[in-house]
Amino acid sequence: MTMTQHILRSLFAAAFLAASALAQPVKTEPGLALTYTVGAASDTASAPNVWLYVTAGQPPTPFLSAGKFTATFAGFISVDLRGDYLFKVESCGAVKVELGTNTIIEFTGDGKKASDPTKPVRLGKGNNALKVTFTSPATGDAMLRLLWSEKGALWEPVNLGMVSRAVGNEALAQQDKLRLGRETFFEARCAKCHTSEAGAPELAMDAPTFEGIGSRRHFGWMAQWILDPKSQRASATMPKLLHGATAQADAEAIAAFLAAQTGAVPAGEPKKDAESIETAKKLVEALHCTGCHNVPDIGDADAKKLNLTHVNAKFPPPALLAFLKNPGAHYAWTRMPDFKLKDAEAEKVAGFLSSIAPMFKQPGAPTDAAVLARGKQLVQSSGCLNCHTLKLDNQFKTKPLSALAAASWSGGCLAESPSGKAPHFAFAKAEREALQAFATTDRASLKRHVPAEFADRQSRNLNCTSCHGQLEGFTSYEKLGGKLKPEWMAQFIAGETKYKPRHWLGHRMPAFPKYAADFATGLAMTHGYPPQTPAEPPLDTELAKVGQKLIGVDGGFSCISCHSVGAVKAAQVFESEGINFAYTVERVQRSYYERWTRNPLRIEPQTKMPVYFQDDGSSPLPDVLGGETSKQLDAFWQFFRLGDKMTPPTGP
């Protein structure tokens, strides 16, 4: 082979490799990169989809001030097969949507009417570059939702599994570090010692009260916990307060003093007979306790979950029973869910949990006056009362947050090893670095509450996805905010709803009262819905009569076969019962209702709800309201608005 042939072959190989490299698919991860800009400042975060809602006068993100803003979503829409799609937006503000190199939408909306649908847009197989630029209105709330459709009848959000962004976004990584620092600041209750102005709800997070704690916890467990919380629970956020040669004795003195803080002894005893334990085991399985806990003989062990082998060491039997019945009685921000257990249920579950945990011979708490005095003095002087409440003078003082320069955030509480008298949190390296990065900001984000960001954090802290998307009857978490109205969600999460929507399920939704209101509004706003559902126009009673007929068997869709109508039970459930129609309007967003009714399989592929309406928007009942699906759906809705006053149609 000649030298010229070698050179040509080398050049060809280099060109082929370069072309191959360019042809490689972009490495992606779920979600879009969303960059908010207010003035000269910006913040980049992950967004699940092209959705946002920001109320007037509020910041779009905790790291920016309130004011007119732009929001730029960047990433990809990925489809398995090439196809044509139509797009439109609902917005309060100006929107520009770009797919690939083409601008497909430019629209300024007031929230009352969506943009006109685009002409069919061809999406190629694989990643299609997406960029959406939104500018908030001069006044009023800002809102944006991007919708797509294959045939122009059924409009829905882009499937979350089809939305992604390129891996390696440096701005996102930098801002995520600040978010981790801010979240760690909240979780460690830093503001309890280093006081700051009020702002985000988490600044008010409490800790278990010391009032009456001697009747709720064993002395021996308290002594071990106080000495080193993380040795008892790896995820503990309480720091190690005591160091040096006297740490053990000091922990026991504090525990002895706390053991002396007794209150009313909870009534009742756990039931440990064989029948009760077997019943409780089934209830523990139904409640999916293994979503957060390792339970012997139930589910697979997971190092990230909390073992339940500690309950006998921690709780006197009546206290365990009382805790299960009302986890938040002495700790409002507890993450332990409240399943609203009845007395008999709690007695059996307490007996079961006690039966699977080792028994401990409990040491008696010291009663020596000098030991109790020492414990009292340590409680007053070690910082305990900054987080825990007790009618006792708090003698622990330290610098307020405003006096802590960023350079000082490498020692004290943030030292890698215990340092002097400072509490030792044993932060992971990533947490320390995130806190140190957060220290360099103006920390104004602590004063700003953004409900969507609150819901994102707390969904992880409360482990919502261990049930939602995993258990039958629990809607996937990523769909909740676009499905349910915030007012109803708030009541449901708080445990205040008087009925169980899916009463036939063994699972039950637990209550998190302290989190409920902000969580619910945050979920709705994440999906581009307002924190309060707008009032509807007056009820159309004539259309409601049509809706009443449509749910019936004679000339309708036979909905009453599977769905109850107020106090009237479903007539003939074939395979799976549906939710009572009386609950529909108070629970469900109107847009979700219309998507679900048009094609429920698009939302829940495993649903037993049949598809009645055609892809072109026509109805199988052409003689009702001209056979127009949209009009028939409105008739259903008007009837459902009657709530518990609705009655099913007469006739067969």
Q: What is the pLDDT of residues 604-624, one digit of tens each?
A: 998 989 999 988 889 999 999
Give residue 21's pLDDT: 35
Percent of the chain past pLDDT 90, that is, above it, reads 85
* pLDDT category of residue 43 using cuts at 50, 70 and 90: very high
Question: What CA–CA distances, in Å, run from 129 to 99, 125, 150, 592?
Answer: 6, 12, 19, 27
The four Cα atoms 455, 457, 463, 464 give a dihedral, to 10 degrees, of 20
pLDDT-derived band at 303 (thresholds 50, 70, 90) equals confident
Q: What percent of the chain has pLDDT over 70?
A: 96
Closest C-alpha among 444, 350, 349, 555 to residue 43: 444
Residue 114 banded pLDDT, cuts 50, 70, 90: very high
Q: What pLDDT is stored for residue 26 in this prediction?
A: 83
**Dist CA 178 CA 171 (whole Å):** 11
Question: What are residue 123's DSSP bridge partners?
Answer: 83
pLDDT tens-digit readout, 418-439: 877 889 999 999 999 999 999 9
pLDDT band at 2 (very low <50, low <70, confident <90, very high): very low
Q: Does residue 559 surpass a pLDDT of 70?
A: yes
Answer yes or no: is pLDDT of 63 > 50: yes
The domain over range 451-526 is classified in CATH as 2.60.40: no
- List pLDDT tens digits, range 122-153: 999 999 999 999 999 999 999 999 999 999 99
- Angle at Cα 540 formed by Cα 537 and Cα 546, nearest 5°? 145
Tokens, residue 20: 């191959």
Give dist(CA 349, CA 344) in Å, integer. 9
Q: What's 424's DSSP letter?
A: B
CA pair distance 407, 651, nearest whole angstrom = 79
Mean pLDDT of 24-47: 93
For helices 590-598 and 629-640, the axis angle rounded to 10 degrees is 130
> Which of 67-71, 183-187, 576-580 has the least mean pLDDT?
576-580
Tell me the C-alpha to C-alpha distance, in Å, between residue 275 and each of 271, 281, 297, 347, 403.
9, 10, 17, 12, 60
Distance CA 520, CA 497 (A): 14
Q: What is the distance in angstroms between the CA of the first residue and the CA of the last residue of the chain?
A: 91
pLDDT tens column, 145-159: 999 999 999 999 999
**pLDDT of amino acid 8:** 39
Q: Please give the pLDDT value at position 23.
A: 40
Q: Which CATH number is associated with domain 541-645?
A: 1.10.760.10
Average per-residue pLDDT for the chain: 92
Average pLDDT, stretch 440-450? 96
What is the mean pLDDT of the segment spanning 229-249?
93
Q: How confident is the model at residue 3 (pLDDT cuts 50, 70, 90)?
A: very low
538, two tokens = 């007056």
Angle at Cα 459 formed by Cα 453 and Cα 465, nearest 5°?
Answer: 140
Which architecture characterizes domain 213-356 according to CATH?
A: Orthogonal Bundle (1.10)
pLDDT class for 267, splitting at 50, 70, 90? confident
Distance of CA 562 to the CA centre of its chain: 31
List the domain boundaries for the chain.
28-166, 213-356, 451-526, 541-645
Separation between Cα atoms, residue 338 and residue 509, nearest integer Å = 9
**What does the DSSP 8-state code read for residue 216?**
T
**What are the tens digits of pLDDT across the range 312-359?**
999 999 999 999 999 999 999 999 999 999 999 999 999 999 999 999
Provide the pLDDT confidence category of residue 651 given band limits of 50, 70 and 90.
Answer: low
Residue range 28-166, CATH number = 2.60.120.1560
In this model, does residue 224 exceed pLDDT 90? Answer: yes
Is the CB of residue 392 less than 8 Å from the CB of residue 347?
no
pLDDT tens digit sequence for 86-96: 999 999 999 99
Q: What is the pLDDT of residue 304?
A: 86
Same topology for domains 28-166 and 213-356, yes or no? no
Q: State pLDDT tens for residues 484-520.
A: 999 999 999 999 999 999 999 889 999 999 999 999 9
What whole-number distance in Å separates Cα of residue 205 and Cα of residue 187?
Answer: 9
Residue-level pLDDT at 169: 96
Q: What pLDDT does residue 268 have? A: 84
